Amino acid sequence: ADRPLDGKKEQWCTRNQIRFHAECKSTEKQSKIRKMMGLTEKTVFCIIATVFYFAFAECGNVYKIGVGIADITGPAAEINMMGYAQLTQRTAGIHLRQFSRAFVVDDGVSRILFISIDAGMTSQLIYLEVTKALKEKYGGLYTEKNVCITSTHTHSGPGGFLQYALYIVTSQGFIRQSYQSILDGILKSVEMAHKNIQPGYIFWNEGDLYNTSINRSPTSYLNNPREERANYATNVDTNMFLLKFTDLNRKPIGMINWFAVHCTSMNNTNYLISSDNKGYASILFEQKMNGKSFLGKGPFVAAFAQANEGDVSPNTKGPRCIDTGLPCDANTSTCNGQNEKCIAFGPGKDMFESTKIIGLRQYEKALELFESATNPISGPIGYAHQYVDMSSQTVKINATTNATTCKPAMGYSFGAGTTDGPGGFDFKQGSDDVDVEALFGTKSDSLFWNLVRDLITTPSEEMKNCQKPKPILLPTGEMKFPYAWQPFIVPTQILRIGQLAIVAVPAEFTTMSGRRTRNAVQKILDKCSKTQNKVVIAGLSNTYSSYVATYEEYQVQRYEGASTIYGQHTLQAYIQEYEKLAQSLCTGNTLPDGPVPDSMLDKQISLQPGVIFDSAYFGKTFGDVTKDAKDRYSPGSTVSVSFVSGHPRNYLMLEETFMTVEKFDSANGNWTVIATDADWETKFQWRRTNMVLGHSEATANWEIPEDAQPGRYRIRHFGYSKSIFQKVSPYKGSSKTFVVKKL
C-alpha cells in the first residue's frame, strides 16, 4: 500500500509484520478472542494485515507519533538580539515568548525526531549538547543521525548562544542564559513528545501562498540562467508544504509546515523578545486547536518551520529611501550612496502590524491546507547523516574540470546588511568600493568594532584566489583568536517520513539554491522508488554557516553572495553531498560519520556583565505600583501599569510569566488569568532608571481585545530581585481593579 522502495519489499514487510504483530498481541482481550475463535496467531495476523492493507489506501501507515512543546525564552533585558548585528538592539522585555516544538515519528523499526525552535538559528553547540543529553537519557534512540533541530530565524531573540566567534561578537561573547534556556527547553519538549507517543496517521497537503514574501536581492536572482528562471512563475518559493498528524480516531494532534520567508517583520528598532511572523502563526494555530489552554500548555503543537528563505523578505512593500520615499538603487540598495537609508517595509503601518499580517497569512493558508489534508503518508521512516568539512570539498564542474570549496570568509556586502536591516557602516551591496583600513583603523566608541579591528587579519593570497570574485572583508577561516570564527565542519542530513524527504541544510539557502537542491534529491529518490516523492528544505538546521547562494548569484556579490562563506562552488558541493545522502536512503547503506566538529563550550568567553544588585525606590518595595491603571477602559484601548522592578535576568520565568491579566469571577469570588506575557495582546517592558542605585521599572501593557468580556480586571507583575548580598528573592505586585466596558 505504501509502495516500498524497489528491492526493499522484504524489509518493508518485516517492518510492518513487527508492528501488526505487536498490535495483535497488545491486549489480553485480543488473546482471549483468538482462543474463543480457535484462530492461530498467523491467521489473526493475516486478517488484521488485510484490514490494514485496505485502510492504508485511505489513511496510510499507522505510525507512532509524539508531539511536545516547551518555553525557550532567554534573558529579557540588556542582551544583544541575534540577527541584525545591531549593537544597540538589546532586549528590554517580551512581546511573544519563544518555544521549542518537537515531533517524534516511528514506524516500528526506525524513528526520527524533528524539532523546530523559535530562534535566530541552530547552534552547533546546542545540537551537540542536545544529542549528547538524549543519548545519555534514551540510549541510542535519538542520535545526531535521526535528530534534526531547525530554526524559524526570528531576529528578535537574545543572542550569545552560538559557539563560533563571528556570531556572538555583537553580544559581547557567550551568554550562558541564552544557551541554557534553549538547551533546556529543547530537551523538555523532546521529553514531552517522547512521553506522548501514540499510534496515529499522517497526511500531507501543499499549496501556494502569495502576497507574503518578496525577493530582497532580485538583481542576484536575475543572474541565474534565463531557461532555469523560466521554469518558475515567481522569484520566491510560494509553496507551503504541510504535514497533519492525527490519532487513530483522526483527532488532530500536531502540524508542521515549511514555507520560505524571513522572520524580519520585527525590525532592528525592536527591543521586545518576539518569535516574529512564524511564531505568531504558531500561536494562532495552537489557540484554535487547543481552545482555552494557555500558550505553550496545550496538547496540540503547530510548527511553522523555515525553508529556503535566504533571499526572501516578508516586507512586501519593498525597499524605499526613508528620506525621499523613492525606490532604492536596485543594484546596491543605497540612497544617494548611503545603505542605511534604504529600508524595506510592510505590509502594515508598523512592525507589529506587519508581523501580525504576515503571520496571519501563513496561519490562514496552513489552516486551509490542514483542513483539506487527505493525502496519506505511507512508507518507511529513514534518515541519512554525515558531517562534512565544507572548506575542502572537490566539486565536479564538468567531465574534465574540478574545483574546490574554500576556507570560510565574509565579503564586503556582508557589512552592508540587507534591506530588512541595513548595516551600520558605509558599505554597499554588490560593491568593493570601501577603504577597510580606514574603516577599522581608528578607535571607535564600540567595544565590538574595536575588538574586530584588533583581531582582523589580512586574507592570504590563497584565500583571495579561492574566494574570487568575492572581495574579502573578514577572512574568518584564517582568524583563530580566541577560537574559530565560523565552522569548517557542518552536519548534512535527510530525514524520510514515508514519501516525504526533509532536507536539513545548515545554512540559509536562497530561493534558487533551494530549488536546485530539492530537484537533485528528488531525481535520486525518483530513480529508486515508484513512490511520488515530495522534498522540502528545512533551513538553518543543526548548525549555522551563514548563506548559500547559487554560483551565478555569487558573482553579483550582494549580501547573500558575500555571506556564502565557502566560495562560489558552495552550492554544488552541498548538492553533491545531498545526492549522496539520498542515494544512501535508496540503498540502505550507512555512510561514514565524517569528521565530527568540536564542542567549544569550555572555550567560551563573555564580556557581558551580570546583574550586580537591585534596589527599590526610596519608600517603595519591589512590586509597588509607580503608575496605576485608570478606573475604566473600553475594548480596543490599552492599559499600562508600571511597577518597581528587579532585573529580569535574575530569573528567566521559563514556563511562567512576568505579567498576568486577570478577570474577577463574581460567581466564585476568584480572579482568573486570561492572558500572560506570551499573548499577542500583552507587552512586558523593562527599563533601568538608575544604574548606580540599581533602580528599574517594569511596565505591563494590555491591548484590550474588541471581544473582551465586560467586568472587573487587574494586572499583576511577577519578578525576582537581587540584594547587595546577592540573595535572589521573588516579589509580586498588582494594579488596582479597573472596569472594562463598552462606552
What is the per-residue pLDDT for 428?
55
Q: Percentage of the chain with pLDDT > 90?
A: 80
Count of CB atoms situated within 10 Å of the CB of 389: 15
Report the mean per-residue pLDDT for the chain.
Answer: 90
Q: What is the Cα–Cα distance from 119 to 540, expressed in whole angstroms?
A: 10
In this model, does residue 440 exceed pLDDT 90? Answer: no
Question: In degrees rounded to 5, what are phi and psi of residue 701?
Answer: -115, 140
For 39, the 3-state DSSP assignment is: coil
Rounded average pLDDT over 208-221:
97
Lowest pLDDT segment from 1-10, 94-103, 243-252, 495-504? 1-10
Global pTM exceeds 0.85: yes
Q: pLDDT tens for residues 653-670?
A: 999 999 999 999 999 999
pLDDT confidence bin for 5, thresholds 50/70/90: very low
Q: Strands 111-117, 147-151: parallel, antiparallel or unpaired by DSSP?
A: parallel
In this model, does residue 267 exceed pLDDT 90? Answer: yes
User: Residue type at 352?
Assistant: F
Looking at residue 503, what DSSP letter applies?
E
For 501, the 3-state DSSP assignment is: strand
What is the per-residue pLDDT for 62?
97
Rounded average pLDDT over 505-520:
99
Q: What is the Cα–Cα distance from 219 to 236, expressed in whole angstroms?
A: 13
CB 463 within 8 A of CB 409: yes
Q: pLDDT tens for residues 347-377?
A: 999 999 999 999 999 999 999 999 999 999 9
CB 366 within 8 A of CB 257: yes
Q: What is the Cα–Cα distance from 180 to 541, expressed in whole angstroms?
A: 19
Rounded average pLDDT over 248-254:
98
Q: pLDDT tens for residues 589-639?
A: 999 999 999 999 999 999 999 999 999 999 999 999 999 999 999 999 999
**Could you identify the residue written with the cell 545526531?**
144
CB 217 within 8 A of CB 321: no
Rounded average pLDDT over 678-688:
98
Residue closest to 475 by CA, chosen among 535, 407, 427, 413: 407
Please give the grid coordinates belonging to residue 156. 528578535
Please give the grid coordinates belonging to residue 525. 529518490
Element (H, E) at 240: strand 239-247
pLDDT confidence bin for 60, thresholds 50/70/90: confident
What is the per-residue pLDDT for 47?
52
Choose between 529 and 195: higher pLDDT: 195
Choose between 85 and 35: higher pLDDT: 85
Q: Percentage of the chain with pLDDT > 70?
A: 88
Mapping DSSP onto H, E and C, the string for 290-356 reads: HCCCCCCCCCCEEEEECCCCCCEECCCCEEEECCCCCECCCCCCCECCEHHHEEEECCCCCHHHHHH
Question: In degrees rounded to 5, what are phi and psi of residue 690?
Answer: -155, 110
What is the per-residue pLDDT for 20?
43
Tell me the residue length of the chain.
Answer: 743
What is the per-residue pLDDT for 414?
84
Lowest pLDDT segment from 180-189, 424-433, 642-651? 424-433
What is the per-residue pLDDT for 415?
77
Q: pLDDT tens for residues 308-347?
A: 999 999 999 998 998 888 888 888 888 888 888 888 888 9
Q: pLDDT tens for residues 149-183?
A: 999 999 999 999 999 999 999 999 999 999 999 99
What is the per-residue pLDDT for 157?
98
What is the per-residue pLDDT for 413?
84
CB 540 within 8 A of CB 504: no
What is the per-residue pLDDT for 38?
52
Q: What is the Cα–Cα distance from 712 to 727, expressed in whole angstroms?
A: 36
pLDDT confidence bin for 450, thresholds 50/70/90: low
> Residue 584 catalytic?
no
What is the per-residue pLDDT for 332?
87
**Could you identify the residue written with the cell 505590509?**
347
In this model, does residue 423 exceed pLDDT 80? Answer: no
Sequence-separated (6 or more) residues with CB below 8 Å from residue 13: none
List beta partners, residue 245: 202, 254
Residue closest to 41 by CA, chosen among 25, 29, 55, 28: 25
Q: What is the C-alpha end-to-end distance of the chain, expressed in Å?
A: 62
Residue closest to 683 by CA, chosen among 658, 662, 648: 658
In this model, does residue 585 exceed pLDDT 60? Answer: yes
Kindly write down the DSSP assignment for every residue of 434-493, as one continuous string: --HHHHHSS--S-HHHHHHHHH--PPPHHHHHHHTTPPEEE-GGG--SSS-SS-SEEEEE
Choose between 380 and 30: higher pLDDT: 380
Residue closest to 151 by CA, chosen among 714, 456, 543, 531: 543
Q: Which residues are annotated as a binding site for Zn(2+)?
A: 153, 262, 508, 547
Identify the active-site residue in 313, 529, 645, 721: 313
For 675, the 3-state DSSP assignment is: strand
pLDDT confidence bin for 457, thresholds 50/70/90: confident
Q: Which residues are annotated as a binding site?
A: 153, 262, 508, 547
CB 675 within 8 A of CB 660: yes
List beta partners, residue 731: 719
pLDDT confidence bin for 643, thresholds 50/70/90: very high
Sequence-separated (6 or more) residues with CB below 8 Å from residue 574: 390, 492, 505, 517, 548
Choose between 2 and 713: higher pLDDT: 713
CB 408 within 8 A of CB 476: yes
Sequence-separated (6 or more) residues with CB below 8 Å from residue 87: 80, 170, 424, 446, 448
Q: pLDDT tens for residues 114-152?
A: 999 999 999 999 999 999 999 999 999 999 999 999 999
